[in-house]
A and B are shown apart, each in its own frame.
Chain A
């Protein structure tokens, strides 16, 4: 075990050393990290490695089985692609954050205990936030803060769940948990935040389109897929996930239809695709888990490919990403266009492309379980995928109305990165047995049957027909610049309302307190406490002096001296002290 390292360590230590390397070697060094990591990974035998004692518990940094290995492979591959795509980026903040982010994802996947799992899980958030802030715009800054707050809340929920769970079971092992009781529910919800479940999802559609061009590629790959892994590990066969997943596939497609920002369309599409995985995990049969996991692998590749093609468009057009600003770019960016179409074909599950061999496994599992409503929702969502990702993305960017833009083709390193992703999209779709051989369970499913191919092709072509007819008849929703309110309204407007309510109530209270206590009350107490001894003292003394015959100037002099003594607090205290002492002695005797 001395010749292999925990996969996370290579990325995290390697990432931290990036700023030390200067000049042209930096690119080569960064590309080398996933390569070295991959060679390291394939030399790790299955089993449990790197067990470290921590207080009375064992931390496990290497729980290596078929499930974690597959996620490990794809995380290495996508890291290589994302680093290659970002090789022009000189900003070390992004370079370091990207590598630590990938390392944390590997840490999550290979964690065998809940403590190290949680630490890596939180590192995902911390590292990824810099990929959003690095865009250095006001919108990115705001979205980044919201992203941070939502994930902090999710992380606390998870932590609370873990603490309760460890307290109940006495074990910190991370394996099957299952949904029973408060502790597991909190863990479940903590995973759900990162998985972008409905209503917990807006951090994703809010932040991903605001991240840097290259940062979004990393973002699209890791956070949600780590959550999918965690669910597959801890909650397979949990019935709630079937419905959560089905809703995830269906609701984002409506938003994607009317969204103007193409990277936000892809973000909704990301939720939609993760829905298929969550649904598969919920069904929980061997075929369904295989489908969910293989779809995670394929989604990482085609979603990254689509984000990369849109990123290349942004890069070459000076940041334009809205439908309203783009169109007709196939003329000068043909290779990017082809890559985008390959990504679109893969996500739409066109036969011979990757989505076809994995999404159908989840759907078949639903059908085998006689879940008719779920199956129909998933089929409807598949039609929706065609609308927004299969057609809208390539159509509005590369075809559609001619925007008059004639940007240059994407730079070579971006084309290479897209090319690698495109290759795997076609390879996994055309030769699925290689992917199937890596899945957690043995695969009996055969994707290429005549009815399946014909049915899916019919689905695609007639959806395309509907698109063409709707567009030609002018019934498609017009592209327009607008914000579409989503569940984030509750905290974006709700927090504003909270802020105003607090402003009015608390600051109002402060103002009242300032006026009454500071302005009035304190002054009066001060005046009274200065004035009263004088009044009391002179009230007693003046009659006394008058009786003893003090008159005229002498009396005035005495009053003046007493007043001055009281104002400067230099009045003789001997007598008062004597009286006080007598008083105390009296009390003592009486007690």
Chain B
């Protein structure tokens, strides 16, 4: 009986409301971070670092490039069946 209860139990992120709060706070942080850029004075080492929103763009583009190249280039090259070495 107790087992069934725990199966039905709603946990933190099962609730749509908590996901909604999480999503909105994340979006708000993104906007805030984009805006902050214009209020700080950067000490840069390289010219590219001075581009507006350099870190935001670099992270986003770098992340997408990493994941897609791993998916479409590396995986087809190296993926083998699980028993490949057996």
Contact = CB atoms under 8 A, between A and B. Distances in A.
Contact of A451 (B33, B34, B40, B60): B40
A257 interface: yes
B67 A470 contact: yes
B25 to A, nearest CB: 11
Contacts of B59: 383, 386, 458-463, 466
Contact of A370 (B45, B70, B75): B45
Contacts of A463: 59-60, 62-63
B74 A254 contact: yes
Interface in B1-40: 6-7, 9, 11-13, 26, 29-30, 33-34, 36-37, 40
B37 A476 contact: no
B83 to A, nearest CB: 8
Contacts of B34: 458
Nearest to A368: B45
A484 B78 contact: yes
Interface residues of A, number: 51
Contacts of A66: none
A322 to B, nearest CB: 10
Interface in B30-67: 30, 33-34, 36-37, 40-43, 45-46, 53-60, 62-64, 66-67
Interface in A395-437: 399, 406
B81 A482 contact: yes
Interface in A448-468: 449-451, 454-468
B45 A467 contact: no
A467 B30 CA distance: 14
Given A451-B42, A463-B60, A485-B78, A257 B30 contact: no
B5 to A, nearest CB: 12
A493 B36 CA distance: 53
A330 to B, nearest CB: 7
Interface in A336-392: 367-368, 370, 372, 375, 379-380, 383-384, 386-387
A258 interface: yes
Nearest to B46: A372
A461 B37 CA distance: 14
A255 interface: yes
B66 to A, nearest CB: 6
Contacts of A467: 63, 67
Interface of B is mostly: helix
Nearest to B80: A483
A331 interface: yes
Contacts of A492: 85
Contact of A482 (B36, B71, B80): B80
Contacts of B12: 330
A258 B63 contact: no
Given A387-B63, A492-B85, A459 B71 contact: no
Contacts of A500: none
Given A330-B13, A451-B42, A477 B70 contact: yes
Contacts of B46: 367, 372, 375
A477 B29 CA distance: 27
A492 B86 CA distance: 10
Interface residues on B, range: 35 or more
A461 B71 CA distance: 22
B15 to A, nearest CB: 12
Nearest to A451: B42
A475 interface: yes
A464 B59 CA distance: 9
Contacts of A254: 66, 69-70, 74
Nearest to A138: B86
Contact of A406 (B6, B30, B40, B55): B6
Contacts of A551: none
B66 A451 contact: no
A367 B6 CA distance: 54
Nearest to B74: A254
A259 to B, nearest CB: 10
Contacts of A462: 30, 33, 55-57, 59-60, 63
B55 A384 contact: no
Best-surrounded residue of B69, B70, B81, B85 (most CB of chain A within 10 A): B70
A330 B22 CA distance: 16
A200 to B, nearest CB: 18
Interface string A93-125: 000000000000000000000000000000000
A330 B30 contact: no
A266 to B, nearest CB: 17
Nearest to B9: A331
A514 interface: no
A387 B84 contact: no
Contact of A485 (B54, B55, B84): B84
B17 to A, nearest CB: 17
Contacts of A561: none
Contacts of A476: 67, 71
Nearest to B10: A331
B58 A379 contact: yes
Contacts of A468: 26
A458 B55 contact: yes
A457 B58 contact: no
Contacts of A367: 45-46
Contacts of A279: none
Contacts of A331: 9, 11
Contact of B84 (A368, A475, A483): A483
Contacts of A383: 58-59, 62-63, 66
A239 interface: no
- Top-9 shortest CB links A-B: A367-B45, A466-B63, A257-B70, A477-B71, A458-B55, A462-B59, A383-B62, A331-B11, A463-B59
Given A458-B53, A492-B85, 18 more contacts: A254-B70, A257-B74, A330-B13, A331-B11, A367-B45, A372-B46, A383-B62, A384-B62, A386-B63, A387-B66, A449-B43, A451-B43, A462-B33, A462-B55, A466-B63, A470-B63, A484-B80, A485-B80
11 contacts: A255-B78, A258-B71, A383-B59, A406-B6, A461-B56, A462-B63, A465-B60, A470-B63, A482-B82, A483-B85, A485-B78
